[in-house]
Amino acid sequence: VEVSGGNAPYTITISDIEIADASIDESKITITGVAEGETTINVKDNDGVEGSVKVTVKAKDDEGDDAEGDDTEGDDNEGGEE
């Protein structure tokens, strides 16, 4: 997330650090999901002007994990050839 406007430096606070973590480098905020749920990232500029971003972290979909499925198929094929 890129902060625009306001006066740097910016500070951030996270409503629930058990859901997401965040860091700021100049005006770029990097958000990392920690657990499933919702939280809010609050941003404050040097003049005390505030803004916020609502963050929703969802669990990874099992269908996106192709590598595990490929390994299983390979094991089954090898077993059938023996």
9-57 residue pLDDT tens: 999 999 999 999 999 999 999 999 999 999 999 999 999 999 999 999 9
Contact 33/59 with Cβ under 8 angstroms?
no
Predicted structure pTM score: 0.67
Say if residues 20 and 33 touch (Cβ distance below 8 Å): yes
Give the Å distances, CA to CA, from 66 to 5, 31, 37, 72, 73.
42, 25, 25, 10, 11
